[in-house]
Amino acid sequence: MDLFDIVGPIMVGPSSSHTAGAVRIGYIAGQLLGEPLKEAQIQLYGSFLATGEGHGTKKAIVAGLLGMKPDDYHIADSFDIARKRDIGISFGEVRLEEAHPNTAVLHLTGTSGKSIEIQASSVGGSRINIDKIDGISTNFSGDNPTLIVHNLDQPGHVSEVTSMLAHKGVNIATMQLYRSARGQNAVMVIECDQPIPQDGISWLEHVEGVLKVTYFSGN
């Protein structure tokens, strides 16, 4: 059992799920976008939607998108900070099937026009899970350096990615494979024990059949 299972996370706000977890959802989503944020459309579901207002969930998600951690005392000022940075923020409701009650769907656009859609849930004790990226199911916490590779469902891509990681001296902790349908789009989610060098990520981006590479460097 981890110490945080007993004493809880260090945080600002009344709820580890609705506040600290919401900050982490925003923070990891912003890191996965990989560039300064220009616009965020945030849709809430379940308990996030019903009771999040009183727990500051909206401000917490925006704070995370701005790069704040759960113990940052500027979380309450996140709307004002986003406004001063000319970042467009909007909120709405989303209907989902079989989703965790503390779920948000974030549609993010960066300053270059790059976009990403992330569905994430706060599962308790400030822990979160990234459930989907760009509509394809995933399942990772963001606790470790994580590489997400979108590629065509063709032979050879898994070996190319794992060979690159081996060449860079990066050990794989977990690896998950998903695809929308046979021969269509696929996703690799690889959690690693070490950070991945930028030149390795850049190499992957130019591999034939690789559609998109997203990297989260971890906590």
* Greater model confidence, 186 or 170: 170
Q: Is 184 left (phi over 0), alpha (psi -120 to 50) or beta?
A: beta
Ordered by start, the domain boundaries in the chain are: 3-133, 146-216
pLDDT tens profile 180-202: 778 888 889 999 999 999 999 99
Residue 100: pLDDT band with limits 50, 70, 90: confident
| Domain at 3-133: CATH architecture | 2-Layer Sandwich (3.30)
Tokens at 156, concatenated: 């050879």
Those residues with Cβ within 8 angstroms of residue 168's Cβ, 6 or more apart along the chain or in another chain: 196, 197, 200
CATH of domain 146-216: 3.30.70.260
Q: Which pLDDT value is given to residue 136?
A: 83
The strand pair at 37-45 and 88-93 is best described as parallel
